[in-house]
Amino acid sequence: MKKSILLVCVFLVGSVLSASAQKRKIQRIDREVQERVFIPKGQWMTGGSVSYSEHEEDNLNFLVLKDFEALGYDFKVSPYVGYFFRDNMAAGLRFTYSRDYLDLGNADVDLGDLVISLKDLYYLEHKYSASGFLRTYMPIGRSKIFGLFNEVRLTYSYGEGKNSTGSGTEYDGTYQTTNSVQIGIAPGLTAFVTNFAAVEVSMDVMGFDFKWVEQQTNQIETGKRRTSSGNFKINLFSINIGMTFYL
């Protein structure tokens, strides 16, 4: 008798809950994110970014750094092209060339009882990169001018560099080649200044980097190095500003 009463109660509760759910008419919320077309299918995009910086120090003293003398520059150019195979979604290729140069004449690190001196240090590196990327766009609200995008990249890089220290009989020179593969994510903000041109700001947020380095010192000694790393933080020094044209 008790079991029959318990089964009847369970049935009645289930019936009440079912009727309540049907009364509320629970429906999936449509946020209309995919229905707003920011950049339509069939568009081509092309653009690039260029950056250059140089520095020169002559007898500079800063904290523990004394008699610092150096000259150097960094140059980077990165063109790219892409095609929108769906609304708000594009795939493309990016090519990058960078050149880094440093000529350190002198640098003394004064730690009180210990003074570390560096002299006649020279460094030069050329790097070539090719990337495949997938980019998705989303408008900010109902705006047709401002939008957000996220870019996923797969990059292969090859670099050649040389560095040397000392002079005369104390000269040491090293030549090295670098191969690396990187998977990264770069979100950004775009703003159209005309119907066919936009200014973009992006930042590298996270990624995985695998690098292989081979060295030869004084054309005799050889060395190798392999590293792998993961980056899961915002790098404020990796902000990229560029211009993109939509055709």
> Quick one: how many helices (H) and strands (E) in the chain?
1, 10
What is the average pLDDT score of the chain?
78
Across residues 119-130, what is the average pLDDT? 86
**Per residue in 45-78, pLDDT tens?**
998 887 788 877 777 666 666 776 788 888 888 8
CA distances to 38, 157, 188 from 62, in Å? 50, 35, 36
Q: What is the DSSP string of 118-186?
A: EEEEEEEEEEEEEEEEEEEEEESTT-SSEEEEEEEEEEEEEEEEEEEE--GGG-EEEEEEEEEEEEEEE
Q: Which residue has the higher pLDDT, 162 or 218?
A: 162
Across residues 193-215, what is the average pLDDT? 83
For the full predicted model, state whether its pTM sits above 0.85: no
Radius of gyration of the chain (CA): 29
In terms of Cα–Cα distance, which of 171, 154, 170 is closest to 162? Answer: 171
Is residue 162 pLDDT above 50, yes or no? yes
Q: Which residue has the higher pLDDT, 96 or 26?
A: 96
Across residues 37-44, what is the average pLDDT? 87
Across residues 131-157, what is the average pLDDT? 88
